[in-house]
Structure 1
């Protein structure tokens, strides 16, 4: 490891120890804003300092082991060389991890995000798949201790799936973990209603958008909005309100339509719908801005066709394939139950290596 990296890591280590002392002072718990900021910083630094501590221990072992090279016994000398080789190998692995952790992060990576999932081709099976996928993301968020808010659900005609669902995931590093989930997702399985045992292929479209700060909110002219109210409803009459609390906002220039009916308050539903609308408008602006950029030419939303997919979930073979990085894992049940790191971590690793 070069001297600059060691110097940088030692400075971060001092800051880390300072945070430990500050967070152990009970007086700080009276100031929630300071506590939250320090806790967030401590959590971020922990990911860097832990491998650095391991590296330092290996460095001490390396110095002690090299001192044994003075031994004249040939067998001992060869054993020492082997130990040095093993220590160097372990250090190199940690150095790669530390290097990536020290790389400048996208400022949006630590933000909350919206996950919008829409049924693509495949009719009723596509709607069921949307429900399955949304459950997968909710389970993943729960495993990370993140909070999940359901912004909107549009049930299918049979009530056994969703035509569309919008989730808000709240936590540290949420967008950074989930941003590569955007695109087409394809499922291959035999539907329960299929008497001949034929495999059915259907799709859904996932869009992951970071939550915007107040200063980043695009200017939305109230005259460009068509706002409708209606009674909240769900499959089989679930969550039916006696008042028109559900909100539908249409942004006339872009023809974006956002609905929110999760809250019983019309004001809260309107606030949530506007937040999603702002994120969608911002996503469209970014897409247009980067249209000619080779690194970002892929659109946020796919077409929903069976051929347009980032990932395939094959229930017959119990496998999941991410076509972007040619990764296939035969742990479909684990993944559908929220163990998404099996797919997300290799994807992040590949993206970092390409930069």
Structure 2
């Protein structure tokens, strides 16, 4: 009897199905060190215990995207092992900071299904929760992924497309307990720009670029225990190339955004996201941001800024996102809409 797991195919999912994902993970300073080695990440709150304590936290949490990648990685063997592509995100809430020593696990519920017209694949919608060792939810988000069918004769399921909020309101955001930016040190943070210095509609060119390396993206995918075949197996795609994990592009773009948004310290909401075009090793990634909204919060000295973060191939124009047909331009790799916390 076969003991190996070929992964789930589209016909294996049903709306309402709950999947508890295997292999919980205790995060440590090692994840932080590796994350900062893979990406040019240098936001002060995630680099210094002392800076974090001065901001009202007990210590420096791990970067929010470490939490995201770790929780996401748990889901891959059960959700996207046989994926064609990860399509998008919505309703992402970072509910509690994660600190070295915390143990994370993931659970997902299937909330939608839609077979594609070609009959060879379909889109699966899941809501995933990441929990710590105290069973506290630290992250909650929805994603949808295109998954291949194994049995092409399997009947199409009833189409269920969940209704998802396009944008989280500021009242939906959870501010970490104790966070206080009234004594924020702008010199140590790296830039003087605060909440009041940003205007809705403003575009920020993050200037710097990073060339994606084959070895680094493979290290990142292994670090997050992401087992999707498209990232590892060069024979899995017709073009013989390994697809870069979309989260690798997210983290690269977020790190690049430090230049111009050094004080957008904590990600607390993920409104939506799309991996607009595939990314492969050898591409040079650049980034720009657009300020979409601003709001005050109840936390002392803390404002919330809604940002569109766009990752592009080298040579793309800042502010150029979609063509006249409404489709993403071929130079655009990522379109991410998120809320971040910033000193007033």
Given the two structures, how large is their TM-score scaled by the length of structure 2?
0.23
Highest Rg: 1 or 2?
Answer: 1
Return the structure number with greater strand share. Answer: 2
Given the two structures, how large is their TM-score scaled by the length of structure 1?
0.23
